[in-house]
Amino acid sequence: MPHPIIPRPTETTPGFSTYIALVPETNLLDFLTQQLTDLTKLLRNLPEKEALLHHAPYTWSIKQVVGHIIDTERIFAYRALRIARNDSTPLPSLDQDAYVKFANFDRIPLAELLEEFERTRQSNLLLFQHIESEAWPRRGTASNNPVTAATFAYAIAGHTKHHLDIIRKRLA
């Protein structure tokens, strides 16, 4: 199955490069699959009360972080899809704080958020498995910057790793 190669600095932005740098040099699809297991295993038995806490210096609860991971993954996968399909329409930025504020993730049971993450990730794994090799380096524009389809597959992995690392620190 074709999988993306790590984007070069000219194929992404400094912001996405930060996330991409967190992804090990391994098969990306295997890494994304392992993250699915890691996140659900880490949080599966976390009490609702703990999932609602705000651990300083962080401003979001763990439920909000999981919801944020889901929203961001959906947006990044959509961007990867659009660029892979050679859609040259510029893609806008996102305001992560507004998404979290208006989603009210704290009202959703953690088990449902984990199920939503699992289904979102499984869907994106299928999407990425079926993107042809020649589509990954296709260029598009997001947030007024040139990027490739592969940028967003790697950004999903790095963004999730970033937040998984923070959650682990919070629960330690």
DSSP character string of 108-167:
S-HHHHHHHHHHHHHHHHHHHHTS-GGGTT-EEEETTEEEEHHHHHHHHHHHHHHHHHHH
Domain count, the chain: 1
Q: What percent of the chain has pLDDT over 90?
A: 87
pLDDT over 80 at 3, yes or no: no
Average pLDDT over residues 112-141: 97
pLDDT over 70 at 26, yes or no: yes
pLDDT over 60 at 142, yes or no: yes
Q: pTM of the predicted model, to two decimals?
A: 0.95
Sign of the alpha-carbon torsion through 143, 148, 153, 157: negative
**Assigned domain for 2 exists:** no
Average pLDDT over residues 73-102: 96
**Where residue 2 falls among pLDDT bands split at 50, 70, 90?**
low
**Assigned domain for 107 exists:** yes
Q: What percent of the chain has pLDDT over 70?
A: 98
Query: What is the span of the domain harbouring residue 144?
Result: 9-171
pLDDT over 60 at 157, yes or no: yes
Average pLDDT over residues 84-102: 94
Residue 55 token pair: 């651990």
Average pLDDT over residues 66-77: 98
DSSP label of 107 = G
Average pLDDT over residues 71-78: 98
CB count in 10 Å sphere of residue 4:
22
* CATH code assigned at 83: 1.20.120.450
**Assigned domain for 1 exists:** no
Q: Compute the mean pLDDT over every residue in the chain, rounded to the nearest whole number.
A: 94
pLDDT over 90 at 37, yes or no: yes
**Assigned domain for 3 exists:** no
pLDDT over 90 at 4, yes or no: no
